[in-house]
């Protein structure tokens, strides 16, 4: 089955530690995205990548970093510079076709800072 996988489902981090969230897709999609969702809130864009080895900051990129070395992978690192990282993180991908914005989402990773 084609789809997007995120791991781990739950992640706990101590303050001051960096942590990397995994996102993999086998849909052969060009574009990939990372969103953050806080309780009762909507999705906010962290980073996005339209092609391999290229990515752009979204609305809340501070304290996060990404890489796109392979088309199917778009890991997100939450650094110690992110002051309030406890949230639900969602990865998504799209085909990259002009105009169409149908996104396919992964199941999410819930990050808790202890």
Partner 1 sequence: LAKTTQPISMDSYEGQEVNITCSHNNIATNDYITWYQQFPSQGPRFIIQGYKTKVTNEVASLFIPADRKSSTLSLPRVSLSDTAVYYCLVGAVDKLIFGTGTRLQVFP
* Contact residues: partner 1, CB under 8 A: 4, 31, 33, 35, 42-45, 48, 50, 56, 88, 90, 92, 94, 96-108, 110
Residue partners of 75: CB distance under 8 A and separation at least 6: 20, 21, 22, 23, 66, 67
Please tell me the distance from the alpha carbon of residue 18 to that of residue 100, in angstroms, as a whole number.
35
| Pick 50 or 67: Cβ nearer partner 1 | 50
Give me the least distance between CB of 101 and partner 1, in Å please.
5
| Pick 71 or 110: Cβ nearer partner 1 | 110
| Number of other residues whose CB lies within 10 A of the CB of residue 104 | 16
Please tell me the distance from the alpha carbon of residue 83 to that of residue 23, in angstroms, as a whole number.
22
Give me the least distance between CB of 48 and partner 1, in Å please.
8
Locus of tokens 């501070």: 62
| Pick 82 or 94: Cβ nearer partner 1 | 94
Give me the least distance between CB of 42 and partner 1, in Å please.
5
């Amino acid at each position: 089955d084609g789809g997007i996988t995120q791991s781990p489902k739950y992640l706990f981090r101590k303050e001051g530690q960096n942590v990397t969230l995994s996102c993999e897709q086998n849909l052969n999609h060009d574009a990939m995205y990372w969103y953050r969702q806080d309780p009762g809130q909507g999705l906010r864009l962290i980073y996005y990548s339209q092609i391999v080895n290229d990515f752009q900051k979204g609305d809340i990129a501070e304290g996060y970093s990404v890489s796109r070395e392979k088309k199917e992978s778009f890991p997100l690192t939450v650094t110690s510079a992110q002051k309030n990282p406890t949230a639900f993180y969602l990865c998504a991908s799209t085909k990259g076709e002009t105009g169409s914005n149908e996104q396919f989402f992964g199941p999410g990773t819930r990050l808790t800072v202890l």
